[in-house]
């Protein structure tokens, strides 16, 4: 099982924060879905914090929820905000994603959140932690689904950045983005 101590407080999952901060009963054990959720939060943070390679967003331009997330990641308010954004709200990806990252990253994060939301509600509906057999059966499928979302975003980003560069937009990636990130053995329609 994942070690919740290894996760930075900013990137802890709703289930971890539910027990740790909101003092709810520890119904669900930490599992691979918490790792996928931590990945989602990590990418959200990168897309909010950086406005270009090597350029941080000015602190004064962060929204209050994002500011609190950075400075008080283990506060009750932040735990409730993250839970709301994941389960009911529009998602952290709707909080000031830098223009530099563009639509492909916004769409990728929305898709990741939708997967997490569905898996989270499935876990809640089950009303208990899953057995090892259930987790093994679901883990490969869930990781593959996340990987497919990321691969699709990489392909879309290559097109997006190439078109933005061709149109004279400010561009940091070269036309060779696909050569760096694309797996030529991967099928085009993996979602």
Lowest mean per-residue pLDDT among 34-43, 48-57, 101-110, 127-136: 127-136
Q: How confident is the model at residue 66 (pLDDT cuts 50, 70, 90)?
A: very high
For residues 176 and 49, give the distance between their C-alpha atoms in angstroms, rounded to a whole number.
25
Does the pLDDT at position 185 exceed 80? no
Lowest mean per-residue pLDDT among 40-49, 65-74, 121-130, 143-152: 121-130
- pLDDT tens, residue by residue, 74-117: 999 999 999 999 999 888 888 778 888 888 999 999 999 999 99
Q: Which two tokens stand for residue 69?
A: 């997330």
Q: How confident is the model at residue 129 (pLDDT cuts 50, 70, 90)?
A: confident
Q: What is the pLDDT of residue 19?
A: 85
Domain ranges of the chain: 9-163
Q: How confident is the model at residue 165 (pLDDT cuts 50, 70, 90)?
A: low
Does the pLDDT at position 159 exceed 80? no
For residues 114 and 36, give the distance between their C-alpha atoms in angstroms, rounded to a whole number.
12
Q: What is the pTM of this model?
A: 0.79
Does the pLDDT at position 21 exceed 80? yes
């Amino acid at each position: 099982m994942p070690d919740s101590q290894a996760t930075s407080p900013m990137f802890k999952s709703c289930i971890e924060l539910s027990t740790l901060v909101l003092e709810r009963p520890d119904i669900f054990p930490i599992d691979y879905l918490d790792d996928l959720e931590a990945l989602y939060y990590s990418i959200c943070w990168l897309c909010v914090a950086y406005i270009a390679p090597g350029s941080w967003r000015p602190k004064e331009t962060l929204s209050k929820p994002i500011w609190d997330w950075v400075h008080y990641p283990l506060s009750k308010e932040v735990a409730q905000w993250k839970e709301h954004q994941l389960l009911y709200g529009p998602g952290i990806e709707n909080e000031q994603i830098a223009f530099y990252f563009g639509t492909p990253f916004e769409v990728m994060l929305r898709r990741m959140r939708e997967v997490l939301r569905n898996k989270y509600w499935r876990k809640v509906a089950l009303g208990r932690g899953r057995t090892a057999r259930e987790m093994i059966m679901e883990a490969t499928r869930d990781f593959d689904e996340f990987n497919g979302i990321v691969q699709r975003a990489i392909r879309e980003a290559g097109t997006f950045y190439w078109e933005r560069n061709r149109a004279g937009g400010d561009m940091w990636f070269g036309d060779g983005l696909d050569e760096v990130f694309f797996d030529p053995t991967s099928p085009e329609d993996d979602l």
